[in-house]
Structure 1
């Protein structure tokens, strides 16, 4: 787990109560509220506060700036047709992570009914650590793929002008007698959240990550014009996510006059329905083969508690996040 500087602890029960209160105006399914709260606190346990409670606070501020949004839920899903159960969510009036929780729940329900599901999200805010969502799907026995497109911040490989977002992609697969295997990565070596944190702290970033508005290399986050992609493969991965989670669900449109938005997609399927005889055993074997060949197998999600009740009795947050949650719940951060 990562460590947070300038940190305070808050009781788990208090943190959960405060998050529940913050989500209350959106009239969401209680299961979605519970899962969104879990993912936010899991991000804190991973040492990724930029995707945790502080992210939710920024997303709520974004919604406050949209007249009438704080007392409105996400648009009910539109149903698709065909052998694969599909749905679409308009998340423009709800926190992004709450919309993602709803999408995962809908995907789980449809996997039970049809064996596979595709749920698109458009107009979403910040959705946090996508690997937590993919892991939730895998814990239920499905193979889950979650991808998110966002407004332009990253330049294509070999270019210096932003064209796509950092566009993370996460995959979660059940493993026999082990935690799910979760792969979660972005198309750029740093996220926009990291750049913004560096801007706030007035701290330079490493060379080779950014270019300024004139396309020149820079380490100054305040001068950033674009984030550089993580290799040609990372650039193409970002383009693929843009096509699937942007173009495919309405996050990107043909009208250049429309404001930038954020799209995401959740794909889930029962491996047995797709023809696998022993997917959990096969994924465990693949992990063994990968390690035997000298490869690094992602494992940072393995130690995450799978439910709110299993979280530690106290949660370490940034001081600002702990004090904010304490103020919502009426208690005091320690």
Structure 2
């Protein structure tokens, strides 16, 4: 059985790193770094940082402006500047990671997640979820990360190849590490920033300049880089029996991946999806609000798919939403405290 985890920036943030775009803009303001990012992004973002909290979506929309269309090569240069300064910022953030990735407590936090990732499901959900799991075979855990940092990778690579085991009758089946890949590159190599497809930026820009495709569309950039990341990730999804999304907003600029996950769910009715959603609520939040949060995330995922109402009902029977899990890839408090204590020296 293949279990594939999709890891987003929420993991880094949960672990104490300041890696959101908003964090980066605060840094640019504090350190007076806007000058290092050329026009037009320096002006556009500094004047309206809230709109640019979703950088990739805002990047696509800015191409609709006539002034940008007339000077689109300046935009490309500005994107390069942005990537360079952002990569340097993330590299400084990683200086906080003066920790032992082989630390037993850190290792156990990951091992516990892989072995018990479905522990936060509600009792009725667990019965349904577990009934579809194939216990008569080895389980392989794959990871596709969308992060530019190395924190998750550093911990994952230090884990033993055998993550656990389960027994059935007189037979024992292993739980093994599988494929790890960073689909959007890292701050050190092939860092991808952009939109999902041509519909998310100006059709006029696409008409007047072919270069716009591989500058702005992440999927096309990967193809032009001549790597096989898309093909490898697609194959992993097609073989997955369980898929888990953690630390991601399910944004439109990654729509192709939600389409692929949805397609896998539709093609095999034993396949299941768990979305670990962050809402930042306390445990005393009303049941009405929790239920509405779950429905919001269900609706958000389904909004990326073009399916019938009947298909939606079938999908919802195999999509599980966990709000604010305390058990998923949560580093020990002493580790997070150490990361935070190093923060003051990160950008010096």
Give TM-score scaled by structure 2 length. 0.26
- Structure scoring higher RCO (CA < 8 A, sep ≥ 6) equals 2
Question: Which has the larger share of strand?
Answer: 1
User: Greater CA radius of gyration, 1 or 2?
Assistant: 2
Greater helix share, structure number = 2
Q: Normalising by structure 1, what TM-score?
A: 0.26
